Structure 1
Amino acid sequence: MSITASMVKELRERTGSGMMECKKALVEANGDLEAAIEIMRKAGLAKADKKSSRTAAEGILAVKISADGKQAALVEVNCETDFVAKNDDFVAFAQAIAESVLISSAASVEEVLASTLPAYNVSADERRKELIAKLGENINVRRFERFVTENGLNASYLHGSRIGVLVEIIGGSHELGKDIAMHVAASKPICVDESGVPAETIAKEKEIFSAQAEASGKPANIVEKMVDGRIKKFLAEVTLVGQPFVKDPDQTVGALLKAQGATVGRFVRFEVGEGIEKEESNFAEEVMAQAFGG
């Protein structure tokens, strides 16, 4: 059976694959479009398996918040290069994952990947593997966070697509929540207030400060006051409420919240690729590998 240009065009539109791949699949399937799609899908899965061990430390963050502000989702989806991170299909996939997390009760990445994405009518993992085959890079859904609040509302802030924050705020306004989320993105607090700082962290800092103060040769009562002062300063630096507000450094975030009758229930901050050890590679070799289907 002869393979026409219109058949190749239709298969390209259905799969997003290259012209030669589509023609090859149609020849193998004797012109049967559905059979050709199945052949390409299987080839794509094989490609995905081959690329699964490659480090994916680039990518984007996606946020979705329900209309009433009661539910929010933040997800990190990774790829290998910044180039693919800007690809429209990759961005759409990340947005679809965020939407899926928002409306689901998935408790793990595995459960998210097993769920069906309505936009594609396939599982998230199947769509992920299709993208790996199409874009030529390893793609992972790395992590997600979902906030559900009864008494407050959720706000978010995205700095580009590489730093993302969710904040649950009780009282105040959506604008205040967004300001707090922006502050978290910029200042990286580790918790809301002192109660969230691990006891072992405080003990370790106290030990360091004590050694430094004792080296000064000052009396024990003065050393104790010096250590207390350093601990208070440390807690102010690492807690959200103790930090100077980024938009008005003359007041702390705690003072801002109090003035507006609000409190922060929790927050989460993601940064793309944080904690992933990147492989050193030769750029020229990467380009050649991409060109020849490596």
Structure 2
Amino acid sequence: MADITAAMVKDLREKSGAGMMDCKKALNETGGDMDAAMDWLRTKGLAAAAKKSSRTAAEGLVGIAVAGTRGVAVEVNSQTDFVAKNDQFQTFVRDVTAIALEKGDDLDTLKAAPMAQGGTVEEVLTANIATIGENQVLRRVRAVSVSSGAVVPYVHNAAAPGLGKIGVLVGLESSAGIDVLEPLGKQIAMHVAAAFPLALDEAGLDADVIERERAIATEKAAESGKTPEIVARMVDGAIKKFAKENALLSQPIVMDGKTPVADVVAKAAKDAGTAIRLTDYVRFQLGEGIEREESDFAAEVAAASGVPQPTA
């Protein structure tokens, strides 16, 4: 049997919202596999299906920049939040975001791009690591563009102009003026930051994610004791509900909690007297999907000084 630690139980509890004993049982039942334990909790109805990775621990900044009908989001990670507040680090993220706006969203191309002060992006990042004394990683970059219309940016809880923990871009294809598209895009971008859609529309949802949801829904439905025909309908209904709740266009906008985003766009188009299409979006949340190892600071200091730690 796997050794289930208190840290594992705590981590699962934070990710799932389930009780401590339920998390411990889930880990025991799944041999300590965190993903399998999460699925076990959801199968038993003990974890929220829409629990998102909003409690990730990685630090750094997300940079957002827009020029005309093109926008870009960049994530640069650091080990601590102290570095994210450092002027040198913030300047680097801002400069790299501006370069990405020109060069595009291929990460290798961006790393090889020259910087104004000399050296490539990757070389300057390496120098910054030596100067600041903390590891830093240029993690990802993504662009959004439209042929006509606007790309609207939004940074949640900005640490500085264009820099923050969550960055969003919304692409609106239209001949409407910026006076129409900017407030509409800002409203949608704020929704994206809060609601964490998984895709623009239901067709865009990842097939592996859908299959995983189907497996969970099938196991839950089978426990109902219903006939196979009813179980199949229950599973189909669960998948339709999941798709509707996680596709941006079908999500109820957070501002009123009931109007689908697609209808918000349609109303804006009707009021403007011209077509408006929400074509793409990006949502970068700092550290999303990254797990940082918990450390005992006192133990690290003691180890560095050669002082042995007392045993319990």
- TM-score if structure 1 supplies the norm length? 0.70
- Counterparts of 1:185-200 in structure 2, within 5 Å, are 185-200=193-208
Matched, 1:271 2:271: no
The whole-number CA distance in structure 1 between the counterparts of 2:196 and 2:172 is 17
Structure 1 residue runs of 5 or longer lacking an equivalent are: 1-55
User: Structure 1, residues 210-256: CA drift from partner, whole Å, max 9, x if none?
Assistant: 44345434456654544443232211111111211111113111211
Q: Are the counterparts in 1 of residues 103 and 109 from structure 2 also a CA contact under 8 Å? A: no
Q: Are the counterparts in 1 of residues 169 and 189 from structure 2 also a CA contact under 8 Å? A: yes
The whole-number CA distance in structure 1 between the counterparts of 2:218 and 2:134 is 51
Q: Quickly say closer, same or farther: Cα 1:221–1:272, change in 2 above 3 A.
A: same
| 1:179 equivalent in structure 2 | 187
Structure 2 residue runs of 5 or longer lacking an equivalent are: 1-56, 158-163, 175-179, 270-275, 306-312
1:254 to 252, 259, 262: 262
| 2:58 equivalent in structure 1 | 57
| 2:124 equivalent in structure 1 | 127
Q: Quickly say closer, same or farther: Cα 1:121–1:232, change in 2 above 3 A.
A: same
- Counterparts of 1:44-123 in structure 2, within 5 Å, are 57-66=58-67, 68=68, 70-105=69-104, 107-108=106-107, 110-118=108-116, 120-123=117-120
Matched, 1:141 2:138: yes
Q: Cα offset for 1:201? A: 3.7
Q: Cα offset for 1:97? A: 0.2
Q: Quickly say closer, same or farther: Cα 1:123–1:212, change in 2 above 3 A.
A: closer
The whole-number CA distance in structure 1 between the counterparts of 2:255 and 2:300 is 42
| 1:158 equivalent in structure 2 | 155
User: Structure 1, residues 60-108: CA drift from partner, whole Å, max 9, x if none?
Assistant: 0111100x2x111110111111001100111011000000000114622
**Identity of matched residues, %:** 39
Which amino acid in the other structure matches residue 59 of structure 1? G
Superposition RMSD in Å: 2.7
Q: Quickly say closer, same or farther: Cα 1:141–1:284, change in 2 above 3 A.
A: same
The whole-number CA distance in structure 2 between the counterparts of 1:132 and 1:250 is 47
Q: Quickly say closer, same or farther: Cα 1:288–1:77, change in 2 above 3 A.
A: farther
| 1:168 equivalent in structure 2 | 171
Q: Cα offset for 1:275? A: 2.0
The whole-number CA distance in structure 1 between the counterparts of 2:302 and 2:99 is 36
Farther off after superposition, 220-229 or 268-277: 220-229
- TM-score if structure 2 supplies the norm length? 0.66
| 1:17 equivalent in structure 2 | none
Q: Are the counterparts in 2 of residues 136 and 290 from structure 1 also a CA contact under 8 Å? A: no
Matched, 1:281 2:290: no
Q: Quickly say closer, same or farther: Cα 1:268–1:286, change in 2 above 3 A.
A: farther
Which amino acid in the other structure matches residue 143 of structure 1? R
Q: Are the counterparts in 2 of residues 61 and 76 from structure 1 also a CA contact under 8 Å? A: yes
Q: SS of the residue aligned with 2:259? A: strand
Pair member with larger Rg = 1
Q: Quickly say closer, same or farther: Cα 1:211–1:101, change in 2 above 3 A.
A: same
Q: Cα offset for 1:287? A: 6.9
Q: Are the counterparts in 2 of residues 57 and 272 from structure 1 also a CA contact under 8 Å? A: yes
Q: Are the counterparts in 2 of residues 132 and 139 from structure 1 also a CA contact under 8 Å? A: yes
Q: Are the counterparts in 2 of residues 157 and 181 from structure 1 also a CA contact under 8 Å? A: yes
The whole-number CA distance in structure 2 between the counterparts of 1:225 and 1:97 is 50
User: Structure 1, residues 151-196: CA drift from partner, whole Å, max 9, x if none?
Assistant: 3321121112111111212236111112111111111110111111
Which amino acid in the other structure matches residue 117 of structure 1? M
